Structure 1
Amino acid sequence: MDNNRKINILLVDDRPENLLTLEAVLDSPSYNLIMANSGEEALKQVLKQDFAVILLDVQMPGLNGFDTARLIHGREQSKHIPIIFITAISQAVENVNQGYAVGAVDYIFKPFNPEILKSKVAAFAKLYEYQQQINDQRQLLKKRSIELAAANAKLQDMEKELLQHNNNLENLVREKTEELVLANKDLYQSQERFQKIFASSPSLIAIRSLIDGRYIDVNESWIYYTGFPYDEVIGKQTGMLHLMYDNCDTTQDLDLQKAIRNERIHYTTCDGKERIGLLSTEAAEIHGEHCIISVITDITERERLEKELTRLDRLNLIGEMAAGIAHEVRNPMTTVSGFLQLAKSKQDMHLEYIDLMLTELNRANEIIKEFLTLAKNKTSDRKPQNLNDIIEALYPLIQAEAVLSNKSVHLGLSECLPLYLDEKEIRQLILNIALNGLEAMSLGGKLTIKTYSADDCVTLEIQDEGCGIDRDVLEKIGTPFFTTKDTGTGLGLAVCYSVASRHNADICIQTSDTGTTFSIRFSA
């Protein structure tokens, strides 16, 4: 989303002085405040443009606030816009209920608290901004998918053209001696064209012998993606990329098999990282030797973007649900808690029953807090501070947990750049990942927590010595309500991803049968 794009907010009131008051309270360089002095004018504005939130007066001549809200939400293109009623007159319960019935998200009485109103509007503006970012990412992903499909189709056309030239070459060899000169010329042009395609292709292309499997040549994209030095590849007779299909534990030389078309495979780079690609192969005769030309279109980044977009959609959904749960449950909980406290002071029931009920209410309130951590409109108290200070303050707690299970914790903290952090959220992120790491290890295991700075970024690494994470589980990491524990809620890592998103940080996971490393990279 364009950072310079202002967020539209519609202010509707038939009294100019009220509109001026709202404009003064909400004045911000991030907002485009649009005012309407009647319900009819508000409807015209909604037809012209989209809004993050509408502040609507109830009592207006002509079309009142309730009728205006009903017409706005009755239109498909504007039914999603949040409406906050503001009134100094219609404070009766039936008026409030009517306001919520026509789709309002809040009902505020005048005189209102300016800071509370600003916070509520800021929350809806932030949610609108996140939704616009998701739409922008979805459009970018769609554009990149189309570009990738076009590039892949072009490459396949080039392969067909190359095969056609080889067939032409075989026919020309059988012609008279006079035609051999022309055939040699065509062959040279064909080879030159193939070399250009081979060298400039964005896909990984390798030529291997069908006789002994050795690598005859690889292009620059193959070297770039795999990280293997060219001199170490040429002449090797065994597959170096450990190609394998999905859900297959054994590797084989898939790139020596004939007539594969866009098969989804996994391959391993020089530094042991696993990437994803689409494999196509074609048999060809080059300089009299039977060969296989293999082409791998790398789709690792595309799949990562698709998974990230899916995860953001789910986090957005759970955030909205969490806010709704908190709104609906906290009010009756507060009432019940108040009556229980009153009953306790009057000693109208057994104290142990009251204490038990208060404990359960507090437990339910903690669960709601965990839901709210996922909410997109969560208030963040970020300020400049050192990540190492937060880790050192948590170290005794993590160490004590490790000692109880006969495990250990090692710190490897390097000097780091200061970051804008919400200390409570970062503490929660570190504890969630560290405690998961301790649970994943057997007796005697060591948990290592490291920090370091590089390229204007600060990286936090939490590494365990567990048995690793299965591929099927790894793809679902961070999805709300997904858990492998018998008693888990499936919100711990989802909270971590939500905290990282609010801090503009990325979470990367590397796992094997000797352990798992969570890397959280913050932009300084």
Structure 2
Amino acid sequence: MDQDNLKAKVLLVDDRPENLLALEAVLADGEYELVFAHSGEEALKHILKEEFAVILLDVQMPGLNGFETAKLIKGRKVSAHIPIIFITALSKANEHIKEGYLTGAVDYIFKPFNRTILKSKVDVFVHIFLKQKQIEFQRNKLAEKQMELKYQYNNLEKLIQEKTNELVIANHELKTSQERFQKIFQFSPNLKAICTLENGRFLTVNKSWIEVTGYSVEEINDNGLQFIFSENDVPLNIQVDLHNRKVRFITKEQEVRIGLLSTEKIMINDEECILSVITDITERTKLEKEISRLDSLNLVGEMAAGIAHEIRNPMTTVIGFLQIAKNDLDAPLSEQYINLMLSELKRANGIITEFLTLAKDKTSNKKVENLNNIIQLLYPLLQAEAIMNSKSVHLELGDIPTVNVDEKEMRQMILNIGLNGLEAMSNGGNVTIRTFLDEKGSVVLQIKDEGRGMPKEVLDKIGTPFFTTKENGTGLGMAICYSIAARHDAQISVETSEAGTSFYICFAAERAKIKQLNN
């Protein structure tokens, strides 16, 4: 029970509402809560559920009268202590007063009552009630405290033993932890060292550090060696919170090795220290370079095979007709044969031209352009191609800034992707060309078709030279698009599903913002 929030309750019992209203008017401003009952039965129900400081009970009531109600209240152990003040309009005969006191009343007030006297009496009983509750509260608190002290006293030895056991366990765990750290530190395949943060003096290094670098702690500290370098060959001072920083380190035998350096601040004997870990990736780096070289050779081989395959076909036709002309000098080649040879030579030249378009160092004639203007110029051509095949092209051009691009290369890229989209759809399909700014402020060109989408194996190889799913394709169209995007510092991403494929060409945000500011 919280004594600060304790509030006394006063029960007013009278069958006449006007009498209850009169009592409320006298007692309303008291620091207690008034509870009303209109009969003896209702009063008993309240007493079963609540505790009261005093009861003001009318004598004359239908059903249970005041005397009968008082007997029942006093007959219950839990409510027998509640003081009862009878309020009555009966005569002041001694018989009534005597009966009232015999039933348990502590006082008798006759109507009409004196307001001041009534309130004073109620205040006295409320004050007594609150004092009793405070004493009871203090007594309970004292009993609780005594029980708590007794419990603590009885368990003091047990607590001391538990704390002792905890210290023993903690010391054991600390010792075990230190042993584990030493084993992990010393026998780790990574190079590990601990130095102070204040002056960078090395405290210890592990076995791998000594075996790989050849330097002990004493040699590093005595000679002030700086043998760890960042990628730009500047000596790397001890730094905190590095994560896989690529570094070069030179061994005692002057061998240059490559590693990934990570550092973390730790506390040792209340001193701030740095734990440095170097993962030696020298062999892995050599292997990656070799794999890259082999991949390059493999790509060159594939491209050479592709070029040979694509050019051999038209060359075979030309050689065949020239052989015929050589064997029969008197019969000149017909114009049909000559045109066919020229067509094949033109085809071979086109393949070579497309291949050269892949060159990264190809000269670009870049100018400040708005992609929307380039798309609108190409729209009639794409729409005409679409109409001939019962398809359509739809434009959704947003408000975008200008970018620095080569108009011819942009036309070539949009046509390649747009025509591919038209070919991928059945009759009635629609290609949507959209431009917008993404959340980073980058200019984005989206070309979306409503085809069947691309399987994963095709998506993984898209943009690879000479890879094509078309019967008569050269496999250079998308490779050229990726090459053009690279020359414009743009990124191509693809989203595909059974509902169609979308190509997103995203131009650098910085460039787009600069052009927007200039305009």
| Superposition TM-score tier, normalisation by shorter sequence | 0.3 to 0.5
TM-score (norm 1): 0.36
TM-score (norm 2): 0.36
